[in-house]
């Protein structure tokens, strides 16, 4: 991957267009402030259909572009060298839609179907039967059991459905499952996609009496699948929300991981006026990470909390009472909007996430928002900016009310007119300046330092020869901050964000 900021976006929610329109938005126009701004783009699911039960994460056909967005030739054009963009796409390894041709054929013909081995049933994991102890040992990110009863031929079968009843889990260890996933890799490689995210990979392997989440067998599957991808020239990013020490372990075995601990730790620093947990993480965190503040999902809480899978209670990066207070702080900052979208208040819920735009999680404080982005850009790794965050987006209550899906509060459909309006906002213009500096300044290709500082302060620096970039933030008094970029010529650029609008932030 290029050492430059990436954009993560839905194709149709940034300007309401298709793949060609997105390519034009990111690569064309002399006066276009987004032109050439990103080194790569992660396209959230563009498969048929994009509007199923889980916004494209329940593909009917993973090897077909939704025709409303274009076709594979449009993907090839976006990924072509002349576009200047590395393209990342999702491989949804755990499941496919209950409306897929494969599953419909299995439902019609049962064990006589050519796809009989593709889908994971309860019996396949528990051939000797399952009892309460075995089923409750399965790690669950959501309430209830990961099982759904559906017809199959002349019988009714119990299928694994880790996420929703419309998302049928694949048996990734069966030859049919292996062939299905390898076909996706070959299709991606043929159009120039050079990196993939393994979605829901942590749940892909099931074993009776075990957690069925990030087990040694799961690591083995990820390693084997990653080897197949690398043989086709494709890098692999693994997406797993879990205990922070498990993320460090995962990072040792894969190309790239997400730094999902960063978003809640940055919010914690602003909420409590302390840099302690954030600096502790900065010292131990994986370097082969994609740094994020926001994604199409919620703000992860599990990533800095105690290990939920360890009954001995391995402590988190912040104590439980502070974690609870942080969630309430976000709810207050968002004027209660995030509470409407989180937990039992919204369907398709994840117990470990708070659904809110990152800008609203900071109470719309523009200075703090840009400082948060600067911290993201200064930590080692490849920064990835979500399309809503790029535009300092607010919570979309209308979409939440229309769909009842909590994560939709942070999945706004932007018209081109809305994009143009937001690009004129001071906070967005300064974010684009930060992105340009992160992409172009030579210091970020050099050596990273976590500088000594007080408990309330964070000081980060990069040095490459005579080029240097420094960031300092005092979370007790964020007005005491600065960014300095110096060059071998002696030229120096200093940025401060005090002139921006600020709504203030409640204390925890």
Q: Any known ligand binding at 123?
A: no
H/E element holding 231? helix 216-231
Q: Which of 199, 366, 368, 470 is catalytic?
A: 199
Burial track 324-338 (b if 16+ CB lie within 10 A, e otherwise): ebbbebbbbbbeebb
17 near 28, Cβ under 8 Å?
no
Instruction: Specify whether the CB–CB gap between 35 and 69 falls below 8 A.
Output: no
* Per-residue DSSP letter, 478: T
Are 480 and 496 contacting, i.e. CB atoms less than 8 angstroms apart? Answer: no
* Ramachandran angles phi, psi of 453, nearest 5°: -165, 170
- Report whether 13 belongs to an annotated binding site: no
**Backbone dihedral angles phi then psi of residue 458, each to the nearest 5 degrees:** -130, 130
Q: What is the maximal distance between C-alpha atoms in the chain?
A: 78
Catalytic residue among 66, 86, 171, 239: 239
Contacts of 126 (CB under 8 A, 6+ apart): 134, 208
Cα separation, 232 vs 16, in Å, equals 32
Is 199 annotated to bind ligand?
yes
CA angle 77, 81, 82 (to 5 degrees): 75
In this structure, the number of other CB atoms found within 10 A of the CB of residue 22 comes to 26
Report how far apart, in Å, the C-alpha atoms of 277 and of each of 73, 242, 280, 462 are. Answer: 46, 17, 5, 21
The answer to whether 297 is annotated as binding is: yes
Active site residue 239: yes
Give the DSSP H or E segment for 419.
helix 416-423
Cβ count within 10 A of residue 144:
8
Euclidean distance between CA atoms 334 and 325, whole angstroms = 14
Residues sharing a CB contact under 8 Å with residue 489, sequence separation 6 or more, in sequence order: none
What is the gyration radius of the CA atoms in the chain, in angstroms? 23
Helix residue spans in 273-365 (DSSP H): 276-284, 320-333, 337-341, 358-361
95 known member of a binding site = yes
What tokens does 97 get? 């839609």
Backbone phi, psi, residue 412, to 5°: -65, 145
350 is in an annotated binding site: yes
426 is in an annotated binding site: no
Residue 407, marked binder: yes
Known active-site residue 294: no
Six-digit token string for 422: 């937001």
Residue 467 annotated as binding site:
no
- Alpha carbons within 13 angstroms on the beta-carbon side of residue 318 total 28
Q: Would residue 440 be called left, alpha or beta, if left means φ above 0 and alpha means ψ between -120 and 50 degrees?
A: alpha
176-to-62, 115, 173, 199, 486 alpha-carbon distances in Å: 15, 7, 8, 19, 56
Q: Which residues are catalytic?
A: 199, 239
Known binding-site residue numbers for substrate: 54, 95, 197-199, 239, 296-297, 350-353, 407
Known binding-site residue numbers: 54, 95, 197-199, 239, 296-297, 350-353, 407
């Amino acid at each position: 991957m290029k050492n430059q900021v990436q954009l993560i976006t839905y194709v149709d929610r940034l300007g309401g267009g298709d793949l060609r329109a997105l390519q034009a938005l990111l690569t064309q126009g002399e006066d276009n402030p987004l032109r050439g701004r990103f080194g790569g783009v992660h396209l959230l699911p563009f498969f048929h259909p994009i509007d199923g039960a889980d916004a494209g994460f329940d593909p009917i056909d993973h090897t077909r572009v939704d025709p409303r967005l274009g076709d594979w030739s449009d993907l090839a054009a976006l990924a072509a060298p002349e576009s200047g963009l590395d393209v990342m796409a999702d491989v949804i390894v755990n499941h496919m839609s209950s409306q897929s041709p494969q599953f419909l054929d299995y439902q019609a013909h049962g064990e006589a179907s050519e796809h009989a081995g593709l889908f994971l049933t309860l019996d396949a994991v528990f051939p000797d039967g399952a009892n309460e102890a075995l089923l409750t040992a399965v790690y669950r990110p959501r309430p209830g059991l990961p099982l759904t009863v559906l017809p199959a031929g002349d019988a009714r079968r119990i299928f694994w459905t880790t996420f929703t009843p419309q998302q049928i889990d694949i048996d990734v260890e069966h030859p049919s499952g292996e062939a299905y996933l390898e076909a996706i890799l070959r299709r991606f490689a043929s159009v120039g996609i050079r990196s993939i995210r393994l979605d829901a990979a942590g749940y892909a392997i099931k074993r009776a009496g075990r957690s069925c989440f990030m087990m040694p067998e799961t690591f083995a599957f990820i390693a084997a699948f990653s080897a197949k991808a690398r043989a086709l020239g494709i890098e692999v990013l693994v997406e797993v929300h879990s205990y922070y020490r498990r993320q460090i372990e995962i990072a040792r075995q894969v190309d790239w991981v997400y730094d999902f601990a960063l978003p809640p730790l940055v919010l914690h620093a602003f909420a409590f006026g302390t840099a302690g947990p954030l600096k502790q993480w900065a010292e131990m965190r994986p370097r082969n990470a994609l740094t994020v503040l926001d994604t199409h999902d919620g703000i992860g809480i599990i990533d800095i909390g105690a290990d939920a899978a360890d009954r001995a209670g391995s402590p988190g990066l912040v104590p439980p009472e502070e974690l609870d207070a942080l969630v309430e702080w976000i709810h207050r900052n968002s004027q209660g909007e995030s509470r409407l979208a989180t937990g039992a208040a919204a369907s398709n819920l994840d117990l470990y996430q708070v659904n809110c735009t990152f800008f609203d999680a900071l109470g719309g404080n523009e200075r703090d928002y840009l400082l948060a982005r600067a911290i993201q850009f200064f930590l080692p790794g490849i920064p990835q900016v979500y399309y809503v965050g790029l535009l300092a987006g607010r919570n979309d209550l209308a979409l939440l009310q229309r769909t009842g899906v909590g994560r939709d509060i942070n999945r706004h459909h932007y018209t081109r007119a809305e994009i143009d309006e937001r690009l004129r906002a001071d906070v967005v213009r300064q974010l684009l300046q930060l992105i340009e500096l992160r992409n172009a300044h030579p210091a970020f290709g050099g050596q990273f330092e976590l500088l000594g500082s007080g408990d309330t302060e964070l000081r980060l620096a990069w040095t490459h020869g005579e080029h240097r970039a420094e960031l300092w933030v005092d979370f007790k008094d964020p007005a005491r901050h600065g960014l300095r970029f110096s060059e071998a010529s002696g030229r120096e650029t200093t940025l401060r964000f005090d002139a921006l609008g600020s709504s203030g932030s409640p204390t925890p």
